[in-house]
Amino acid sequence: MLWAALQLPRDLATPPPTDVQRHLATWALQFTPRVAHLEEAVVMEVDASTRLFGGRRALRDRVAAESQELGSIGLAWATNSLAALCLVRAGIENGFKRPLPELLDALALDVLTVTHPHAATLGHIGCKVLGDIRKLPRGGITHRFGKPLLLALDQAYGVVSLGHEWLLPAEDFHARLELMARVELAPALLAGARLLLLQLCGWLAARHSGVTAITFGWAHDTMRAKHVEATGSLTVRTAIPTRDIEHLARLLAEHLTHVELEAPAGEVMLKATEVVKMEGRSASFLPDVVNRKESRALVRERIAARIGPENVQRPVLLEDHRTEWTQHWLPTDKQPPRRKAAPPPFPAPTSILEEPQPLMVRNHRPYFQGPLKLLLGPHLAEGGWWHRVGNGAEQHHKHVRRDYYLAHSAHGGFLWVFQEGKEKWFLHGSFS
């Protein structure tokens, strides 16, 4: 078994768990569902998770770096949770470098909480380390100090297992953090926001989910002007579901550059606004290849955060019989309609004219740099009676009734043309 103990200052001991301890436990749930509070520490059993996170060394490095950001003051590994707690209190991280009984025997008595009420008596009889207590007769230990001391020793040395009440991830995520000092510039809020994002990403991993929107807020100082609201907030949206902290932190930083605080802020809040399930990736027997290129979605959302989402648009296919309305442009932060465009019965042109161009007609045949040869058609396209543009007297419908053809020009190549009525022909697109 592989257990880790993440120690917090002893003034944060349970019960009840403090916000810091709860936040640390929420973050730890991304590594294993076997997470529990144990006095002033958070303990987790990660033996089955080591391969998933790249091996013991990679897992240790990540846990050590991120838990320190969340307030942990020590980390230790051992074969059981209580032994890991004793080791972390003694400042020993690796509980596997020597046999566990040999390590624990050399530890001072105060690493085991149950010895504290008996410290004076144990000292008078010459017990200074845990190994000294183990040399005493077991019956005498129970008679003089009670069963809890002997039971705790057996649990620390792995003779008796210690039961835990496993923590479960909450149904939703919202967290608050009081800042070390008042902040007057919005980008400086990112330091506190990162700690909340660490917790969020741990919670998302535990629920096998990602976010497409988060709401970040801040509380203004009580000594503020009367017209200033008590809190402020902004919502950050992502192009794809994610639980990557670097991605979220970078995107939030871009948004904070456009914010001006109306008063100093002393507290920050984070809420997962839109959470969606994410499919896990299958592991590979081959070494992973690191792809350092950003996806188009990440580039698009970062540009939108800098210049505004209304200035970054993307094409969206719609279900419409009219060729010019099959594709729309929407701001990158707007969700497209859920309807999917039906596949056209004819090849779709690669480029469309903004306005159909009238064609010359000779002997009932359309001309474009010479006579056109009609290859496919007609394909009737009718619709738009519901589509109105303009206001008042200038309002008009966009209803059309057209017969489309795939045509060929000796000089212009393949063209997309349509006929309205009997003698009106128009060029509407072309094929590359």
The partner residues of 42 in beta bridges, in order of sequence, read: 6, 37
pTM of the model: 0.61
Classify each residue of 386-411 as buried b or exposed e, where b means 16 or more C-beta atoms within 10 Å of its C-beta. Answer: eeeeeeeeeeeeeebebbbbbbebee
Which pLDDT does position 282 carry in this prediction?
A: 55
Low-confidence ranges of the chain (pLDDT < 50): 12-14, 284-292
Report the distance separating Cα 249 and Cα 67, nearest Å. Answer: 17
C-alpha count within 13 angstroms, C-beta hemisphere, residue 432: 3
Domains of the chain: 3-156 (no CATH), 174-277 (3.30.1490.100), 351-430 (no CATH)
Q: Which residues contact 239 (CB under 8 A, 6 or more apart)?
A: 297, 298, 300, 301, 332
Which pLDDT does position 365 carry in this prediction?
A: 87
Which pLDDT does position 286 carry in this prediction?
A: 43
Which pLDDT does position 294 carry in this prediction?
A: 59
Per-residue tokens: 246:
């670097």
Which pLDDT does position 287 carry in this prediction?
A: 45
Which pLDDT does position 329 carry in this prediction?
A: 77
